[in-house]
Amino acid sequence: MTTLGDLVLDVIVRLDDALVPGDDRPATTRAGAGGQAANVAAWVVETGGTGRFVGKRGSGTAGELVARELSARGVEVCGPVAGHTGVVVSIAAAGERTMASDRGSAAELTSAELEPAWFDCDVLHLSGYSLHREPIASASARAAELARGRGARLSVDLSSWTGIDDAFRERVRALEPDLVFAGERERQVFGPLDTSWIVKRGGEGVVVDGRKYAALETDVVDTTGAGDAFAAGYLVGGVRRGLEAAARCVARLGAMP
């Protein structure tokens, strides 16, 4: 499977109590490779599949660090190296997750920088963040064309309800994805689309084409990346494997396996 999107430095901050403006709070932190497409690729490998990540990353120390970590997880890392690597800070507190994102050069990926061989796969999974702006949106469309030319299915994760506007809807509909992953609010905000819907409901599980599946019992430490883990497991082996991956993800700090 190939994923296309962001590979960033992910900084996870877990708080037992809320932040206090102008003061300090103890925290548990983790820093490492992240980004929705990178997370999915890593979990694909972890759940028994073959994962390839495509995206643009920076040439500095952070870019080298995240590429090395993702490669060490068994993912083939592809794409140009230029500009600076993005950083995403995710703050987990009281069961909620809040993020501040700098995508770096990831959104500057162009169609001309794609190699057709990268999209020789059974599934191409596109992060919705890759459809928010140009030039990566056009690169995503070209990647879908290349993958479908090799018989691949296309899946899209809507990623964030705040990024859904008319331009985003038009891009997704033009792709005609075979399946779409979305949170409940993302599904509601997006509106109609004739496809297979997989709606992620957090601790309440998922809804796949109208059928509900309960989440598996686990000790919740950090919900960051649970949806990415589920998507990977689902694409590799169906609902059960997706739920197992999500349960493993939330039982530890961070989005990677």
- Domain ranges, ordered by start, for the chain: 2-6+34-85+104-250
Give the C-alpha distances (Å, rounded to integers) separating 112 from 80, 136, 143, 174: 11, 11, 11, 20
Confidence at residue 15, expressed as pLDDT on a 0 to 100 scale = 85
Query: Residue 104 and residue 86: Cα distance in Å, rounded?
Result: 4
Half-sphere exposure of 70 (CA within 13 A, CB side): 35
Q: CA separation (Å) from 156 to 92, 141, 175, 182, 187?
A: 25, 11, 9, 9, 12
Predicted local confidence at residue 95, as pLDDT: 63
Supply the pLDDT for residue 158.
Answer: 97
Nearest to 57 by CA among 114, 99, 12, 109: 109
Radius of gyration, CA atoms only, the chain: 17
Share above pLDDT 70 across residues of the chain, in percent, rounded to a whole number = 99
For 83, left (φ over 0), alpha (ψ -120 to 50), or beta? Answer: left
Is residue 254 within 8 Å of residue 12, measured between CB atoms? yes
Topology adopted by domain 2-6+34-85+104-250: UDP-N-acetylmuramoyl-L-alanine:D-glutamate ligase (3.40.1190)
Whether residue 141 contacts residue 148, with contact meaning beta carbons closer than 8 Å, is answered with no
Integer Cα distance of 242 and 19 in angstroms: 33
Spell out the per-residue pLDDT of the chain, length 257, in tens.
999 999 999 898 888 887 788 888 888 888 899 999 999 999 999 999 999 999 999 988 999 999 999 999 999 999 999 999 999 888 877 667 788 888 899 999 999 999 999 999 999 999 999 999 999 999 999 999 999 999 999 999 999 999 999 999 999 999 999 999 999 999 999 999 999 999 999 889 999 999 999 999 999 887 888 999 999 999 999 999 999 999 999 998 888 99
Q: In terms of Cα–Cα distance, which of 235, 234, 230, 220 is closest to 257?
A: 230
Strand partners, 54: 4, 78
